[in-house]
Amino acid sequence: MADGKVEFELVSPERLLASQSVDMVVVPGGDGDFGVLAGHAPLLSTVRAGVITVYEAKVITDRIFVAGGFAEVTRERCTVLAEVAMPVSDIDTAKAEQDLREARDDAAGAATDSDRDAATRRADIAQAKLDAVRRAAVH
């Protein structure tokens, strides 16, 4: 670990998306966002749909959309294993809007609780993608 840096790794089922030394990373945890600096207390957390924000000094250098998974934090490292992960800049707004409409329709017409839960999760992810794009446009 470089002095004052935390090693950040982001892994999705498809590939390793990030492996770098950073000043700080903010993760959308299951119980709320949490920031990780070098020397952080060990922590395990679920990851909810949202944006991982990577900082160098006080500047945001990367925004990555994630949904589902786990984060493990040690004094030197933050590792996120995400079910879904992509740079916010790669999110197709029109597709996310279409996915949201379709998922809401599927949830409304679901024949079983399991189908409704799956459609609701898809809708939540699509909405989180849209929120991520809107927030990135403001910042």
Total domains in the chain come to 2
Q: Is the pLDDT of residue 16 over 60?
A: yes
Please, what is the average pLDDT of the chain? 93
Is 74 part of a structural domain of the chain? yes
DSSP state at residue 42: P
Statement to judge: residues 79 and 99 lie in one domain: no
Question: In the predicted model, is pLDDT for residue 29 greater than 80?
Answer: yes
Q: Same domain, yes or no, for 79 and 118?
A: no
Range of the domain at 118: 91-138
Residue 95 in contact with residue 72, Cβ under 8 Å? no
Residue 32 structure tokens: 């709320």
In terms of domains, do 126 and 64 share one?
no
Residues 76, 97, single domain; the answer is no
Phi, psi of 29, deg, nearest 5: -80, 165
Residue where a domain stops, chosen among 64, 89, 114: 89
CATH number at residue 41: 2.60.15.10
Residue 1 pLDDT greater than 80, yes or no: no
Round the CA-based radius of gyration of the chain to a whole number and report it.
Answer: 16
CA distances from 67 to 71, 76, 112, 119 (A): 12, 24, 24, 15
How far is 64 from 54, CA to CA, in rounded Å? 8
Give the model's confidence band at 2: pLDDT under 50 very low, under 70 low, under 90 confident, else very high: low
Q: Are 108 and 81 members of one domain?
A: no
pLDDT band at 10 (very low <50, low <70, confident <90, very high): very high
The confidence score (pLDDT) of residue 138 equals 73
DSSP code at position 4 = T
**Does residue 1 lie within any of the structural domains?**
no
